[in-house]
């Protein structure tokens, strides 16, 4: 009889732990349709970390068996790792964008700075002084 009671109790405890987890996930998914992916991931991170915190707490209170705890904890950890990875990807892509923009504007400034030119003797178009032949007509440039 005591075993039956324990079984029912642990079932109730597990249910009480799992249902809020799923419910949190649902409200999270529907509330963030309009947000950017980064915002979404930040929120997801908060939820995942909160869930892990709750789980650790439940375990410390002795409401979870070692086996259940390890299993759920492992699932949550891999979910957290995924979220962290995605955030990192987005952030490094943003950094890369900024870096590329900086490099391009530096290049543009450099190329706008007076580059010596040579006028073609046959078509009169201007070519960089380093060219040996005219880019327009292909005539040999006289330097």
Residues that bind Zn ion (CB under 5 A): 120, 122-123, 134, 136-137, 139
Q: How many residues are present in the chain?
A: 143
Smallest gap from residue 126 Cβ to Zn ion (A): 10
Smallest gap from residue 138 Cβ to Zn ion (A): 7
Backbone φ and ψ for 117, nearest 5 degrees, come out as -120, 160
Nearer to Zn ion, 10 or 118 (CB): 118
Nearer to Zn ion, 97 or 136 (CB): 136
Nearer to Zn ion, 36 or 122 (CB): 122
Smallest gap from residue 136 Cβ to Zn ion (A): 4
DSSP secondary structure, the chain, as one string? -HHHHHHHHHHHHHHHHHHHHHHHHHHHHHHTTTS-HHHHHHHHHHHHHHHHHHHHHHHHTT-S-HHHHHHHHHHHHHHHHHHHHHHHHHHHHHHHHHHHHHHHHHHHHHHHS---EEE-TTT--EEETT-SB-TTT-PBPP-
Nearer to Zn ion, 103 or 136 (CB): 136
Token representation of residue 60: 């410390």
Smallest gap from residue 112 Cβ to Zn ion (A): 23
Smallest gap from residue 129 Cβ to Zn ion (A): 14
Nearer to Zn ion, 31 or 123 (CB): 123
């Amino acid at each position: 009889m005591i075993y039956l009671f324990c079984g029912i109790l642990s079932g109730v405890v597990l249910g009480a732990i799992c249902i809020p987890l799923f419910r949190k996930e649902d409200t999270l998914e529907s509330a963030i349709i309009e947000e950017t992916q980064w915002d979404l991931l930040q929120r997801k991170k908060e939820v995942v970390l909160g869930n892990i915190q709750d789980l650790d707490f439940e375990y410390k209170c002795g409401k979870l068996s070692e086996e259940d705890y390890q299993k759920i904890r492992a699932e949550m950890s891999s979910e957290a790792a995924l979220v962290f990875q995605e955030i990192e990807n987005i952030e490094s892509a943003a950094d890369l964008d900024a870096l590329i923009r900086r490099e391009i504007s530096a290049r543009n400034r450099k190329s706008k700075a007076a580059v010596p030119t040579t006028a073609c003797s046959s078509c009169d178009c201007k070519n960089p002084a380093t060219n040996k032949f005219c880019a327009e007509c292909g005539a040999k440039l006289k330097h």
